[in-house]
């Protein structure tokens, strides 16, 4: 078979890496199309190097833009690539604009689409990613779910049983494979931390575009930094919002965006993680690290019901949650299928459907 992978932003790369490796073992032909949705080419290259992903065969170089413009550019530039040599399957990952744009183009050209990380729902349509998830799942021919509850959601939405395949979480494939390298990277030690840190990442508009909310978050982080190191790799969008609003985060160790191994080294030894990222909710659950998600909802509810994640809708409540921690670890278990073999099951699902057409 010929498999074409679509990747466009940093969250896609740890999902692509194990699937590409497993398909290479199966000796199928593969093509990687990087849409260029992520604006930082140097950091994108670093992720590819660290995760062992080959250089993309095609880079659409769409760059940053509004959701509509970016999605349109991807569709316009991807269509001739796909038309020139249609693969057996287009594999799309996660919920970024590249995901839905590629699914739309492939579906209209009659090329089968497999969605890795299907069935996740926050039920909050103010999140652009939620729209991307819903549309991609409606179009996809194969829905590869990371958790049993995601499969249940798809059935409830009327998706045919034969299109749904529970495979587990490919993000955890990458985490388990790279954890020794992350621990050996020395990144945490290079920061000179005196204690296990609180690690922070924030980028969603609901947190960083509301000046009042961002100011409340910063105030909480300053308070926490008085008693424990707080390390904050700052998304460029977040840094711009902090600077334009004149908001101080004194006492907090601010970093430029960092690579996958550096981030994993920080998180695996963290006292706790404060985030609005979807991927970190999963990684902390796999690592047994407490996670406090500054959102009223999550598309990954299994990280709350089975894992180490706690939703914190209001930033002023964050300090109380963190003060309740004792040793930096909390209850919870690793969900089914988060065992490092999800990519193998994806290959099995594709093999099972080899030759079947819609």
Q: What DSSP string describes 325-339?
A: -SSS-----PPTT-S
Q: What per-residue string of b and e applies to 244-276 under the rule 16 or more CB within 10 Å gives b?
A: eeeeebeebbeeebbbbbbbbbbbbbbbbbbbb
**2-169+338-352 CATH choice from 3.40.50.10860, 3.90.180.10, 3.40.50.2000, 3.40.50.1820:** 3.40.50.2000
Cα dist. 166→51, 150, 282 in Å? Answer: 24, 8, 16
Give residue 325's pLDDT.
Answer: 85
DSSP 218: H
Q: What per-residue string of b and e applies to 198-237 under the rule 16 or more CB within 10 Å gives b?
A: bbbbbbbeebbeeeebbbbbbbbbeebbeebbbbbbbbeb
Over the chain (358 residues), what is each successive 10-residue block's mean pLDDT? 94 96 96 85 78 95 92 98 97 97 98 98 95 98 98 98 98 98 96 94 92 95 95 93 94 94 96 96 96 97 96 94 74 92 98 72
Give residue 44's pLDDT.
Answer: 74
Residue 126 sits at φ, ψ, to 5 deg, of: -75, -15
Among 326, 343, 332, residue whose Cα is nearest residue 285:
332
CATH 3.40.50.2000 boundaries in the chain: 2-169+338-352, 180-323
Distance, CA of 98 to CA of 155 (rounded, Å) = 25
Task: State the catalytic residues.
Answer: 203
Neighbours of 28 (CB within 10 A): 18
Domain 180-323 top-level CATH class = alpha beta
Give residue 358's pLDDT.
Answer: 44
Q: Are strands 112-116 and 142-145 parallel, antiparallel or unpaired?
A: parallel
Distance, CA of 286 to CA of 303 (rounded, Å) = 9
DSSP 25-54: HHT-EEEEEE---SS-HHHHHHHHHHHTPP
């Amino acid at each position: 078979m010929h498999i074409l992978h679509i990747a466009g932003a940093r969250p896609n790369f740890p999902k692509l890496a194990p699937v590409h490796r497993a398909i290479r073992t199966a000796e199928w032909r593969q093509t990687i199309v990087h849409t260029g949705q992520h604006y930082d080419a140097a950091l994108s290259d670093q992720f590819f190097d660290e995760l062992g992903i080959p250089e993309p065969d095609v880079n659409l170089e769409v760059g940053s833009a509004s959701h509509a413009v970016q999605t349109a550019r991807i569709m316009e530039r991807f269509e001739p690539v796909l038309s020139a040599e249609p693969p057996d399957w287009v594999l799309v990952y996660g919920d970024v604009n590249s995901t839905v744009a590629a699914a739309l183009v492939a579906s209209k050209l009659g090329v089968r689409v497999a969605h890795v990380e299907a069935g996740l729902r926050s039920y909050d349509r103010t999140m652009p990613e939620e729209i991307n998830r819903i549309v991609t799942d409606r179009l996809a021919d194969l829905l590869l779910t990371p958790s049993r509850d995601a499969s249940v959601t798809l059935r409830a939405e009327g998706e045919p049983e034969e299109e749904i395949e529970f495979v587990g979480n490919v993000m955890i494939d990458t985490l388990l494979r790279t954890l020794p390298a992350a621990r050996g990277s020395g990144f945490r030690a290079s920061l000179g931390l005196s204690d296990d840190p609180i690690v922070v990442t924030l980028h969603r508009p609901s947190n960083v575009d509301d000046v009042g909310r961002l100011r409340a978050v910063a105030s909480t982080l300053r308070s926490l930094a008085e008693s424990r190191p707080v390390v904050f790799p700052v998304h460029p969008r977040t840094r711009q919002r902090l600077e334009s609003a004149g908001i101080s985060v004194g006492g907090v160790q601010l970093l430029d965006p960092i690579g996958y191994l550096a981030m994993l080294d920080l998180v695996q030894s963290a006292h706790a993680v404060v985030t609005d990222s979807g991927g970190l909710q999963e990684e902390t659950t796999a690592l047994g690290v407490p996670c406090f998600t500054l959102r009223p909802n999550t598309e990954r509810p299994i990280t709350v019901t089975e894992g180490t994640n706690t939703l914190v809708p209001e930033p002023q409540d964050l300090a109380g949650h963190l003060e309740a921690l004792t040793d930096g670890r909390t209850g919870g278990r690793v969900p089914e299928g988060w065992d490092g073999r999800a990519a193998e099951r994806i290959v099995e699902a594709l093999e099972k459907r080899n030759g079947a057409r819609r």
